[in-house]
Structure 1
């Protein structure tokens, strides 16, 4: 009996370890089914068919459970077709460093914090412009008043970081992830945020002249690793910023400055632009379904046709009348003039006229 019990325990452990060997290299299964590669820590998982599948949040797991096999099939197809891209998207391992290690690098002319885990370390008011910080984790780190202008911070991880008064102007934040950082007067002017993921309450952030092409700032209901969040930037500065192709759905841009911004082909579904200024912006091809444009200034905006379907019941925009297309002018064509029978010697009147009492 003891032998049988031992065999049962061993087999059980083997099966459990096999089940925990997550599919898709710990990437969110639901995300993959939608064509999105996102690595998780697999804390939220589900076993189906003897295999473990990871999820970025409870909402993603619930979506999976609605039709698991269909989600798995779509995820498998995307993963197989984009395996090289998927592997690249998996973050390289980061080496945990101490405060002393970080200071040693910062005091060096060849400062390089790339692939380092600097989580919760203190960098308040430090000058980090000379540092290379590719794929650096600043999770929960203190960067208040720090100068990171022009720094290379591609694929950096700034979740929950303290960024009050931080200067990130001109920084390269391509593919960076910035979820629920603490912002206040944070300066992203001229920064490169191409394909970056950002969610949080930014307040009066300065992101003017920045590049946010294909940026992912909108609410992704099925892929929220930290719960339902959205991009909130009341009074933010986005003048002349390039948002082309970005997803900024359901964001809060009340009183924001979007003058001259490029919003071509952006997803602005249910975004709130109340009292915002979009003078001279280009919104060609943007999705404004159910957006709020209460008092939004849209003087000289290009592509006004895009606002069809916005939530008029919550207020109307200013200078946003869509001019109806004028029909093409047709060349004047000769019109047939009805023949008029005139009484002449050659053409006596056909009908007898009653001329009684008439004077000639």
Structure 2
């Protein structure tokens, strides 16, 4: 059975012409004050939270770059397309928040609570998500060069009253990302780009890596028990001889282990 709310949202398609919206940014100067200055202060946001009276806070499309939001309670907040570049969200509560196409490049999300989050196509490039709990939908997100050390994205099979809740990193760009010690057990990583990523000691047990690209990735100490590698590119891996349960991969005969001519 698939995950339920908000991970029922895992199977929901995004509405609207995404391509057209992306084209609107072509040629835009991302260094102008309009792009780099926050429209609101932390005090402004806290005041809105207080007035919300438990209802979802809507900060969609707001420019909040560089803002100090450490420990902020943004649970269920709507932050779709918000500019949060370089913002400090360390320890923030983002459970059940919406971050569709939000820009969090270079942001700090250390220890952030992200259970039930929906962040499809969001930009986390260069962000620090160390020890964060991204149990939610990140399909199509950009996490290139991000730090995800000790990430807690694995499914907790002891607490699944609402179905299998886990990190959904389908088609996520994780190229060059640091995932040392991350827990991605039973996670969805189909077609993820993990080229040159550091997967040292990562728990991948039971995850779906079908169609993913691990070319040049470091896999020493990574747990591959029952990992589906159908169509997975396993080329030029580093530390493969030190990977755990390498022989127990699922569909190992369908993995791509030799470069095509």
Question: Could you tell me the TM-score, scaled by structure 1's length?
Answer: 0.55
Establish whether residue 145 from structure 1 lines up as the match of residue 51 from structure 2. no
1:175 to 106, 111, 117: 111
> Compared with structure 1, are the counterparts of its residues 141 and 225 closer, same or farther at alpha carbon in structure 2 (3 Å cutoff)?
farther
Instruction: Please name the residue that 1:184 is paired with.
Output: 120
8 Å contact from structure 2 (residues 131, 150) kept in 1 = yes
Give, in whole Å, the separation in 2 of the partners of 1:282 and 1:223: 31
What is the aligned partner in structure 2 of residue 287 from structure 1? 223
Does structure 1 conserve the Cα–Cα contact (< 8 Å) formed by 2:98 and 2:119?
yes
Change (3 A) 1:138 1:291: same
Determine if contact 2:67/2:86 at 8 Å carries over to the other structure: no
Candidates 237, 255, 261, aligned match of 1:317 = 255
Which of 61, 67, 72 aligns to 1:125? It is: 61
Which of 162, 181, 185 is the aligned partner of 1:245? 181
Structure 2 match to 1:215: 151
Regions of 4+ moved over 2 Å: 105-114, 116-119, 222-228, 309-316
In structure 2, the partner of 1:308 is: 246
Distance 1:213 1:136 in 2: 22
Task: Determine which structure has greater relative contact order: mean sequence separation of CA pairs < 8 Å that are 6+ residues apart, divided by chain length.
Answer: 2
The whole-number CA distance in structure 1 between the counterparts of 2:131 and 2:42 is: 30
> How many pairs are equivalent?
215
Alpha-carbon distance in structure 1 between the residues aligned to 2:174 and 2:81: 21
Given the superposition, is the C-alpha separation of residues 166 and 313 from structure 1 closer, same or farther in structure 2, using an over 3 Å criterion? closer
Deviation at 1:109, TM superposition (A): 9.1
Query: Alpha carbons of 1:132 and 1:313: their partners in 2 closer, same or farther (altered >3 Å)?
Result: closer
- The structure with the largest strand share of the pair is 1
Distance 1:138 1:232 in 2: 21
Q: What SS is found at the alignment partner of 2:191?
A: coil
Q: Structure 2, unaligned stretches of length 5 or more?
A: 1-37
Query: Counterpart of 1:197 in 2: which secondary structure?
Result: coil
Deviation at 1:281, TM superposition (A): 0.3
TM-score normalized by the length of structure 2: 0.75
Q: Note closer, same or farther for the CA distance 1:127–1:299 as it changes in structure 2 (3 Å cut).
A: same
In the TM superposition, residue 231 of structure 1 has moved relative to its aligned partner by 1.2
Q: How far is the alpha carbon of 1:108 from its aligned partner?
A: 4.5
In 1, are the aligned partners of 2:214 and 2:235 still within 8 Å (CA)? yes
Deviations 1:164-215 (A, max 9, x none): 1111111100000111222221111111011111111221111111001001
Mapped to 2, the partners of 1:130 and 1:273 lie a distance apart of: 34
Residue in 2 that maps onto 1:193: 129
Q: Secondary structure at the match of 2:117?
A: coil
Matches of 2:125 and 2:61 in 1, distance apart? 18
Q: Is the 8 A contact 1:113 1:134 kept in 2?
A: no
Specify which of 76, 81, 92 is matched with residue 156 of structure 1: 92
Greater share of residues in helix: 1
Structure 2 CA distance for aligned equivalents of residues 278 and 204 of structure 1: 17
Instruction: State how far apart, in whole Å, the 2-side matches of 1:111 and 1:247 are.
Output: 36
Answer yes or no: is the 8 Å Cα contact 1:293–1:310 preserved in 2.
no
Distance 1:137 1:163, change over 3 A: same
Whole-angstrom CA distance in 2 between matches of 1:209 and 1:111:
32
Q: Is the 8 A contact 2:94 2:113 kept in 1?
A: yes
Which residue is 1:258 aligned to?
194
